[in-house]
Amino acid sequence: MSRWFSVSMLFGVPALLLGTLVSADEIVSTLADQQEVAVTIYNEDLALVRDQRRVNLPVGNADLALREVSARIRPETALLHSLTRPAGLTILEQNFDFDLLTPRKLLEKYVGKEVRLVRTHPESGEDRFETARVLAANDGLVLQVGDRIETGIPGRLVFPDVPANLRDRPTLVVSLDNAEAGLQTMELSYLTGGLGWRADYVAELNRDDTALDLSGWVTLTNQSGTTYHNALLQLVAGDVNRVREEMRLRGDVVMAADMVKEMAPQMREESLFEYHLYTLQRPTTIKDNQTKQVSLLNAAAVAVNKEFRLQGRPAYYRGQQGGLGEKLKVGVYVEFDNRKRERLGMPLPKGIVRVYKQDQQGRPQFVGEDRIDHTPENETVRLKLGDAFDVTAERKQTDFRKLGGDSRYNYRFESAYAIRLKNAKEDEVTVTVAEPVPGEWRILQESHPHAKAAADTAQWKIKVPAKGEAVLSYRVEVQY
C-alpha cells in the first residue's frame, strides 16, 4: 500500500520520515557519527572541511550517504578515505544531491503527474478528495481537475510518495567497494564556499594621541548550509591563487542576524607556504547562518605617530595655474609599528581598523577608520582617519615661465608657489607638505628646507604656531 503525504497549498510544510527520503540500500551517516571536524577558512569565500565519521560498512559494494555536508560543497574536490583500513576501500563513484526537499520542489517533481486534492467543508469540516494533475508549478500552481483547469485553489495536496532524488539535507552519496566488514573511521575532505572570514580591529587613542590600545577580532560568517560542531578552526591569511570557474552552482542562502562574540584566547600564528595560518586554541561551533567573532590579539599602549599631511598633485607643475585652492583639506594620519617591542609583532591579516578616542567626560567617540592590507611583522601600519577641522591650507602659483622645448617630451618650466597653512588649535602643529613633482626637477629657492622623500616627491615639515599661520614658498625647475 502506497504512503500519501499532505502539503497545504497555502502555508504547510510536508511532514516526512527520513526513511522515505533515501534508498533502503543506502548506508546513512549523520552528524551523530561525526568524531571530529576541522575547518580551514581562506579569504575570498573558500574553506577546506575535514569531516571524520565512524561508519559500519558491509563487505562488497555499498552506497554511503554522508548527510549534512556543506550545501556549497565543490563535489569535484571531495576526497573520502578510510583511516582504519585505507587499503581495503575503493571509491567507485560519488554524487552530490543538492536538490533539497521543499514544498515547491515537491510540486515541481510532480508536474505532469497525479496528486490528490483535498477540500474541507467550512461548516461541517468534512474532507472531500479529488484526483488532480499538476500542469505547472512555476509562478503559481495550475491543476487539471476532471475537465477543468484551476489555479489559486484553497485546500491542500496529498502526494503518494517523495521522489528519490529529493533530500531533506545536502548529501554526498559515495559508491564504494569494501574488503572487510565492520566499523571504520572515514575522513571526508572537500572545498566549499559559504564560509568566510575577515579581520576587524578596534583601537582607542590616548588623550594626547601618542599611544593606542589595539584589539583584533576575527569575524566568521557561515552561509554554507550546515553547522560545524566543536570544530578545529584555522584561518589562512594571504592571497591564494585560484582558477575561476565559468559557472558555479549556488543555492539560495539567507544570513541570520545572529551575532556571537567570544572572548577567546588569542590565536596561534605560524607560517604556511607564503601565507600565515592562525589556529584557534580550542574547538568552537560554527552554526549555519551565523556570524561569530573570536579574539585575535590585544595590545596596550602601542606608540603612535600622528601626522597632518597636505598632498599635492603632479598637474600643478605642467602649466600656468594661478590659484590652486583655498581652505584645502589637510589629512590626519596615525601610524604605528607592528613590532614585538610595541607588544605586537603578529602578522596582521587585512581588515578595517576603527579608531575611538574618549571625550572630556570619558566617553569613547568614533574618530575614523581605514583599511589595512596583510601586514607582516616589523612593518608600519598607516591609517588615514579623516581631514583636520582646525588646520587648513591655501595653495597659490605665484610665477610660471617656459624655459625651453618644442614638444611635450622636452619642455622646461620654472614655477613658484606659496602655501599658507593656518592653525586654529590651541597647540602648535607640524604639517607635512608632500609635492609630487614630475620629470627631472630641482628646487631653486625655498623658505624652508625640503627632503627628497622619493624620486618624484619633495617634502617639507612646516611648524604652524597655535592660533597662527605659516607660509611655505618655493621655486622649482621641471624638465620633461
Query: Would 444 be classed as within a structural domain?
Result: yes
- Altogether, the residues listed in the chain come to a count of 480
Q: Is 95 exposed, middle or buried (0-12, 13-18, 19+ CB in 10 A)?
A: middle
**Per-residue confidence (pLDDT) for residue 64, from 0 to 100:** 95
* Among 215, 218, 207, CA closest to 354: 215
CB neighbour list of residue 157: distance below 8 Å, 6 or more residues apart? 6, 7, 9, 107, 115, 116, 117, 118, 132
Residues 129 and 202 placed together within one structural domain of the fold: no
Q: Where are the beta strands (DSSP E) in 12-83?
A: 26-29, 34-42, 46-57, 60-67, 79-82
Q: DSSP secondary-structure letter at 282?
A: S
The span from the CA of 381 to the CA of 372, in Å, is 7
Residues 180 and 72 placed together within one structural domain of the fold: yes
Which residues pair with residue 392 across a beta bridge?
329, 422
Residues 90 and 132 placed together within one structural domain of the fold: no
Residues 114 and 23 placed together within one structural domain of the fold: no
Residues 263 and 289 placed together within one structural domain of the fold: yes
Residues 295 and 210 placed together within one structural domain of the fold: yes
* Among 95, 102, 103, 109, CA closest to 164: 109
CA angle 345–209–463, rounded 5-degree value: 115
Query: Would 371 be classed as within a structural domain?
Result: no
Q: Which amino acid is at 19?
A: G
Residues 151 and 131 placed together within one structural domain of the fold: yes
Residues 123 and 173 placed together within one structural domain of the fold: no
**Residue 293 structural domain:** 195-303
To which residue does cell 496529498 refer?
158
Query: Would 452 be classed as within a structural domain?
Result: yes
* Among 215, 230, 237, 351, CA closest to 294: 215
Query: Would 251 be classed as within a structural domain?
Result: yes
Query: Would 90 be classed as within a structural domain?
Result: yes
Query: Would 400 be classed as within a structural domain?
Result: yes
Could you tell me the CATH number of the domain that includes residue 334?
Answer: 2.60.40
Do residues 413 and 440 touch, judged by C-beta distance below 8 A?
Answer: no
**Per-residue confidence (pLDDT) for residue 153, from 0 to 100:** 75
pLDDT along the chain (480 residues), means of 10: 49 38 73 96 92 96 94 93 94 82 82 90 85 88 90 83 77 93 96 95 96 94 94 89 56 43 64 86 93 92 96 88 83 96 91 96 95 94 96 94 79 93 96 95 97 95 97 94
Question: For the chain, how many structural domains are there in total?
Answer: 4
Residues 295 and 232 placed together within one structural domain of the fold: yes
Query: Would 209 be classed as within a structural domain?
Result: yes
To which residue does cell 551575532 refer?
259
**Per-residue confidence (pLDDT) for residue 6, from 0 to 100:** 56
The span from the CA of 452 to the CA of 446, in Å, is 14
Query: Would 369 be classed as within a structural domain?
Result: no
**Per-residue confidence (pLDDT) for residue 244, from 0 to 100:** 62
Residues 225 and 264 placed together within one structural domain of the fold: yes
Q: Is 278 exposed, middle or buried (0-12, 13-18, 19+ CB in 10 A)?
A: buried
Do residues 69 and 170 touch, judged by C-beta distance below 8 A?
Answer: yes
C-alpha grid cell, residue 348: 596582521
Residues 333 and 438 placed together within one structural domain of the fold: yes
The span from the CA of 39 to the CA of 98, in Å, is 21
The span from the CA of 300 to the CA of 298, in Å, is 7
Residues 170 and 255 placed together within one structural domain of the fold: no
- Rounded to a whole number of angstroms, the distance between the first and last alpha carbons of the chain is 92
